Amino acid sequence: MSTDDASKEANKVDSVHWKNDPDDHDYPAAANYLALLATPDEANALADRLKTAPIVTFKAKDILRAARLERLTGDDPHVQIDLNKAANGIDWSPVLLVRGDIRQDLPTTIADGYHRVCASYLLNENTDIPARIIDLNT
């Protein structure tokens, strides 16, 4: 699917429906990613803390800005999968975040859900995205 096709697909979608809680498999995925940034034990501890964090919402554009990440286009296969899910009325899992630190110039980390954030941005940059977020040092 080209970027134009993905944009057309995105235009067919009125809104994204979000689950109330992240999928169980999101936490090991988050731990796996975080293990690239911390020790495996630290990554697992962060993923465990994410399980009990409350759900809050942030705008798609703000998550990408805080994470200092570029938005993936509709050409990305994982973004396409999420856009197709939205078009078919399949609920998306909330994203998992580790808060950055402005005092230390550390960005927010999207531990799980980067493709969902990018797909959501394609649909509407002002979409409220449910997330579980924790501080790094708590």
Q: Which of 30, 4, 29 is nearest to 83 (CA)?
A: 4
Q: Give, to the nearest 10 degrees, the angle between helix 114-123 and helix 60-67.
A: 130
At 5 the pLDDT is 53
Model confidence over 69-107: pLDDT tens digits? 999 999 999 999 999 999 999 999 999 999 999 999 999
**Low-confidence residues in the chain, pLDDT < 70:** 1-12, 14, 138
Q: Which of 69, 37, 30 is nearest to 51 (CA)?
A: 30
Q: How many Cβ atoms from other residues are within 10 Å of residue 107's Cβ?
A: 15
Q: How far apart are CA 19 and CA 122, in angstroms?
A: 19
At 137 the pLDDT is 84
Domain boundaries, the chain: 3-135
Is the pTM here over 0.75, yes or no? yes
